[in-house]
């Protein structure tokens, strides 16, 4: 992992994977992970994508190796600014951007607030903010505080991965996600639950890919389809029968669909 210092003094961690041809023009793709765990949850995407793009995976504030933010250091504005400051740190004037679940909320806000910086946007498994979703965040936080992350995840793992039979992965996912600080999530989750970007979606001017779970108890199909009405250049792919955690349970498929989208919009397909 690499590290940088954000403008508010917080130490941010990020990984870079680049297997592109050194003599060819290089474009960067920033991947933002979901809540809980870290950028390591996206590691299976790297082999597919890094041959064609310089792949940058930051750990969001309070996740992975990035420091836990203080009382005044956690907001959507700050999370978005982290993406921009990371891009500046790496010398990226413009970049492709993709996010998973809560990471998509950060990615969308970045595309809304900094349209001149984002070449394309990919949203995996997120409604336009968690406010219109079916998540009972107060119940989640209360359950995590009472039981701890590990037990909470163990009790809900069947709902997250009904299609996964690899018990090694299941154990890894629980251990990785359970590293999340409980008090940090008690701030992070409710903050995300207050977000609804519906009125701002028309400000997303770049091509947008939406890869959506077809059987998600956290959001209805109508809640996911809102992008079609508001984003001028939006595309959809549905993963029929799969619940919310598609980026973990079908990572290679997600990476292939993202790569196809990126290659089309960069004129390489």
Round to whole Å and give the CA distance between 213 and 59: 24
- Show Cβ contacts of residue 221 under 8 Å, excluding neighbours closer than 6 positions: 212, 214
Place of tokens 């903010």: 129
Q: In the chain, which residue ranges form alpha helices assigned H by DSSP?
A: 46-49, 76-89, 102-113, 137-147, 149-160, 167-177, 182-193, 221-224, 226-230, 246-249, 251-265
Round to whole Å and give the CA distance between 19 and 40: 18
Mean pLDDT for the chain? 93
Tokens read off for 6: 């954000």
Parent domain of 168: 2-265
Dmax (CA) for the chain in angstroms is 54
Tokens read off for 84: 């921009």
Which pLDDT score, from 0 to 100, does residue 263 have? 96
Neighbours of 58 (CB within 10 A): 28
- Contact status, residue 92 vs residue 28, Cβ threshold 8 Å: yes
Spacing of C-alpha 110 from chain mean position? 12
- Convert the pLDDT of each residue in 11-63 to its tens digit: 999 999 999 999 988 899 999 999 988 999 999 999 999 999 999 999 999 99
pTM for the structure as a whole: 0.95
Q: Is the pLDDT of residue 136 over 90?
A: no
Number of structural domains found in the chain: 1
Place of tokens 């600014």: 81
| Mean pLDDT, residues 204-226 | 88
CATH number, position 144? 3.40.50.1820
* Band of pLDDT at residue 269, cut at 50, 70 and 90: low
- Contact status, residue 208 vs residue 234, Cβ threshold 8 Å: yes
The better pLDDT of the pair 215, 250 is held by 250
Round to whole Å and give the CA distance between 61 and 184: 9
Q: What angle do CA 203, 76, 132 make, to 5 degrees?
A: 70
């Amino acid at each position: 992992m690499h590290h940088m210092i954000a403008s508010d003094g917080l130490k941010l961690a990020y990984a870079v994977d680049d297997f592109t041809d050194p003599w060819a023009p290089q474009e960067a793709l920033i991947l933002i992970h979901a809540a809980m765990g870290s950028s390591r949850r996206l590691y299976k995407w790297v082999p597919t994508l890094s041959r064609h793009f310089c792949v940058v995976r930051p750990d969001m504030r309070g996740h992975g190796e990035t420091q836990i933010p203080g009382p005044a250091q956690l907001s959507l504005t700050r999370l978005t600014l982290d993406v921009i400051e990371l891009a500046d740190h790496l010398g990226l004037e413009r970049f492709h951007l993709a996010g998973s679940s809560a990471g998509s909320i950060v990615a969308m806000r970045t595309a809304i607030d900094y349209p001149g910086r984002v070449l394309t946007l990919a949203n995996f498994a997120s409604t336009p903010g968690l406010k219109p979703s079916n998540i009972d965040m107060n119940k989640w936080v209360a359950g995590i505080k009472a039981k701890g992350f590990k037990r909470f995840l163990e009790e809900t793992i069947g709902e997250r991965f009904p299609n996964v039979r690899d018990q090694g992965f299941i154990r890894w996912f629980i251990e990785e996600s359970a590293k999340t600080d409980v008090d940090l999530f008690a701030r992070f989750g409710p903050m995300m639950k207050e977000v609804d970007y519906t009125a701002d979606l028309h400000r997303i001017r770049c091509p947008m890919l939406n890869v959506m779970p077809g059987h998600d108890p956290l959001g209805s199909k109508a809640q996911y389809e809102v992008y079609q009405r508001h984003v001028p250049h939006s595309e959809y792919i549905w993963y029929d029968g799969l619940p919310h955690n598609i980026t973990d349970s079908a990572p290679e498929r997600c990476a292939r669909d993202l790569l196809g989208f990126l290659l089309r919009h960069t004129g390489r397909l």
